[in-house]
Amino acid sequence: MGGGDRIGHRFNDPGLLEQALTHRSAAARHNERLEFLGDSVVNFLIAEVLFQRWPKADEGALTRARAELVREASLAAIARELELGARLVLGPGELKSGGHRRDSILADALEAVVAAIYLDAGFEKTRAVVLPWFEAQLAALPVGKPGKDAKTRLQEWLQGRQKPLPVYEVVSESGEEHAKVFVVRCTTGEPPSSADGEGSSRRNAEQAAAAAVLRLLKP
């Protein structure tokens, strides 16, 4: 039986967990196919639990809540709680660049682990193991009225004070095509503020940068 440690599942087929934690930079048998499946499983589980818990929420509220829970940074935070970074199998380049700490790689690994549990033990077991990982984040959401994304909140904060809208610019773009890392800078003129954000897409990096600026403007 394969030990799941913090994951909370003992694998009948330990090879599934091993594959889920193997980045494509390290081996031919890597976790990308599992990530593909796990992404859908996570999205369904979160959609289901929100549908059940928020009977009066409309589609827009449910969609925003799901987006908040399954975004890269949220999944990476859970991966860190499960200490997946220390167990990742990475190629030399990713090891050198600190890939085990990167949000995109951690989020992908978490989705792959979800798929591994699903293939190993079925859907009911997956639900029982995975939903507790999200419980703290679920509880933090305002019921029925999940928060808007960071870019929208920053825009509304500035507009409410009749200030110019923020400007986003790509500072850097690195990594191979399948594992791009974008750094975007968000700058506001009034009040003057600037912060960088990192993500696996320009959009994710912009959201991270906007969130960072909001923390500066609203300490």
Residues that are catalytic: 39, 111
SS (H, E, C) the chain: CECCHHHCCCECCHHHHHHHCECCCCCCCCCHHHHHHHHHHHHHHHHHHHHHHCCCCCHHHHHHHHHHHHCHHHHHHHHHHCCCHHHCECCHHHHHCCHHHCHHHHHHHHHHHHHHHHHHHCHHHHHHHHHHHHHHHHHHCCCCCCCCCHHHHHHHHHHHCCCCCCEEEEEEEECCHHHCEEEEEEEECCCCEEEEEEECCHHHHHHHHHHHHHHHHCC
